Amino acid sequence: MSNISYNLKSLRKKKGLTQQQLADKLEIKRSLIGAYEEDRAEPKYDLLKRIADLFELSMDELVNDKINENWKPKPKSDSGNLRILSITVDSEDRENVELVPVKASAGYLNGYADPEFISELPKFHLPMPIFKQGTYRAFEIKGDSMLPLQSGTIVVGEYLENWNDVKPGDTYVFISKNDGIVYKRAGNRIKEDKPLKLISDNTVYEPYTIPTEDLLEIWKAKAYISTAFPEPNPEPTMESLTNMMAQMQKSIAKLQHNND
């Protein structure tokens, strides 16, 4: 159970703010502050993030710590990645594997930490020994950048709490603010001052980088589910040929620019 209601009231009083003044700072109704402080409702992720920022706290501290006169902030980790993971369980208190289909991928960027959003995703179980430990989620991938896995394949990933465990060459589902949900190989280890290189198995697609601060979640690929069996030598599709031409044009343009 979270300490949001206690912490919100404690922090507000410590700052000498009335409920109305706090509501004005957060640009919400005063009645919502009352509901949160009385534990009749919980703020959704976006508002929770704004509250944490206002009081200069991490999300983890706001939700899980009991902030009173004896509380001291924890030393910040080098990675600076304190995250909240929303999960669902079945009637026997076993964690579900939630499925994020392509049509829900845009909503996932806003709702990945929202228990209400996660609870509405399709759920299933994988009763195999490798899935008895850890937290898992399944993502439907699109495009042909990771051939031989076909577009529409479902990749099952294990939640990676410590991003320092990312290993170059291994495959992951990366969730980021600008790129959304992508399934790629890591090109390097994660460091705050260095962007993360993402590599496609389909060599038609050039590697690219994303800023570490854009990352929201990382899931280590553990299995995949597909109705399309890999071909030994798949024929190029029109989409892959088009992408190949586009990549060639980009490479030619880059060479021309460097020679000018």
What is the number of structural domains in the chain?
Answer: 2
Domain assignment present for 246: no
Domain assignment present for 190: yes
Q: Give the pLDDT confidence score for residue 155 in this predicted structure.
A: 95
Please say whether the beta carbons of 10 and 78 come within 8 A.
no
pLDDT at 100 over 90: yes
What range defines the domain where residue 207 resides?
Answer: 97-228
Give me the CATH number covering residue 122. 2.10.109.10
Same domain, 24 and 114: no
Same domain, 44 and 148: no
Q: What is the mean pLDDT of residues 223-249?
A: 75
**Residues in CB range of 204: below 8 A, 6 or more apart:** 145, 240, 243, 244, 247
Q: What is the pLDDT of residues 13-53, one digit of tens each?
A: 988 999 999 999 999 999 999 999 998 888 887 788 889 88
pLDDT at 216 over 70: yes
Domain assignment present for 188: yes
Domain assignment present for 215: yes
Same domain, 104 and 39: no
Domain assignment present for 256: no
Average pLDDT along the chain: 84
Q: Give the pLDDT confidence score for residue 141 in this predicted structure.
A: 93
Same domain, 104 and 26: no
Same domain, 112 and 212: yes
Q: Which of 20, 40, 64 is the last residue of a domain?
A: 64
Lowest model confidence (mean pLDDT) among 7-16, 146-155, 177-186, 229-238: 229-238
Domain assignment present for 248: no
Q: What is the pLDDT of residues 116-143, one digit of tens each?
A: 888 899 998 877 666 667 789 999 999 9
Q: Give the pLDDT confidence score for residue 78 in this predicted structure.
A: 43
Same domain, 58 and 103: no
Same domain, 203 and 114: yes
